[in-house]
Amino acid sequence: MSPLKRARESWPESPLPSSAEYPGGRDRVKAHLAAAALSHQERFGSAPAGLWPAEGALSAPFLNQIGESGFRWTASSQSVLRNSAGDNALTTVPWQAPPGTPGDLTLFFRNEKLSDLIGFEYATWHGRDAAQHFISEIEGIHAHDPHALITVFLDGENAWEYFPYNAWHFFSDLYGALESHKKISTVTLSAAAIAHQGRRKRLPRLVAGSWVFGTLSTWLGNADKNHAWDLLCEVKQCADRALLGDRLDERERAAVLQRLAVCESSDWFWWLGDYNSPQSVACFDSLFRENLKSLYRLLRLPIPGSLDHPISRGGGTPESGGTMRRAS
């Protein structure tokens, strides 16, 4: 199955780009994973133990590459777990990657209810009430299973940007309650992968998806997103031919690869589509096309006229604390 067709595992009727396969995609993923590991090493002085993929998006081939790259854990969301292991699959235990996955990879799946309470609901609550409610939710899970691993992951901006006073009151009360609680302790995923290794369940398979509705629809399926993929595939093919030839020197080759990496960023495709505001879409649309143009310039090739025309117009409302941006 071609990589882009993996979207149909969780959304069978998903429309696909004309280019059903991103040229050299596996090598590009390998390069991105290596760059991420090097960045972590340079900034923190040690190799990363785990990987959080964009929007928690995973597929079986990507999981294999994560394992091959030496990561020991990765994570996604409850909806992906349900699609992969059934409605009764638990997020309160770690999961071992499906049979045949390289390495010994542990998977965590976030508790969507708790994560989305922070991301989308508590911003409208009094900080202390929200903190107490969150603690009571955790206590309820603990009462049912004293050994439960309660996984809460969310994008950072939803935990402060839409809260009054940047969530200072909420976080102060929440962290204080967690710190003083006699039965609840916080843990990193790296530590949890070790401490809970004996409780792992084997994932039978992994259905491709992300924390946005459990699908890959945040990146493709919409006509605008698919058109953007086709534009990227076209310039990628041009880059491949140039990189295989001898007309680029080492400095030029490095600049091409750096610009290509920018063009491959996941958020370009997220912002395209009719559910985001026209103002936001126009900004990201323009930036994406300018980066594609820049790549053509670095390749010393004519810029296609199609890049002078907007890909997407948008039609939704500007983001607020409860929009689709990070909804599950």
Domains in the chain: boundaries: 49-216, 223-313
Tens digit of each residue's pLDDT (9 = 90 or more) over 179-210: 999 999 999 999 999 999 999 999 999 999 99
Give the model's pLDDT for residue 20.
75
Q: 188: burial class by Cβ within 10 Å (0-12, 13-18, 19+)?
A: exposed
Q: How many C-alpha atoms does 166 have within 13 Å on its Cβ side?
A: 1
d(CA 56, CA 119): 15
Q: Pairing state of beta strands 50-51 and 95-96?
A: unpaired
Contact 89, 81 (CB under 8 A): yes
CB of 295 within 8 A of CB of 307?
Answer: no
* Token pair 């843990």 in the structure block, residue: 187
- Which CATH code of 3.40.50.300, 3.40.50.11810, 3.20.110.20, 3.40.710.10 fits the domain covering 49-216? 3.20.110.20
Model pTM?
0.91
Per-residue model confidence as pLDDT tens for the chain (328 residues): 676 789 999 999 999 999 878 999 999 999 999 999 999 999 999 999 999 999 999 999 999 999 999 999 999 999 999 999 999 999 999 999 999 999 999 999 999 999 999 999 999 999 999 999 999 999 999 999 999 999 999 887 777 888 999 999 999 999 999 999 999 999 999 999 999 999 999 999 999 999 999 999 999 999 999 999 999 999 999 999 999 999 999 999 999 999 999 999 999 999 998 888 899 999 999 999 999 999 999 999 999 999 999 999 988 664 433 344 443 3
Neighbours of 25 (CB within 10 A): 17
Fold of 223-313: immunoglobulin/albumin-binding domain-like (1.20.1430)
pLDDT at 273: 87
Residue 284 to residue 5: CA distance in whole angstroms: 25
* Sequential DSSP letters for 78-114: HHHHHHHH-TT--SSS-EEPPTT-SS--EEEEE-HHH
Per CATH, 49-216 and 223-313 having the same topology is answered no
Q: Residue length, the chain?
A: 328
DSSP 110: E
Query: How many other CB atoms are there within 10 angstroms of residue 39's CB atom?
Result: 11
Instruction: Return all residues near 326 (Cβ < 8 A) that are at least 6 apart.
Output: 119, 120, 154, 155, 158, 211, 212
- pLDDT at position 159 is 79
Q: Are strands 95-96 and 106-110 parallel, antiparallel or unpaired?
A: antiparallel
Residue type, 236: K
Q: With both helix axes pointing from N to C terminus, report the angle between 250-263 and 223-244 in degrees, rounded to the nearest 10.
A: 170
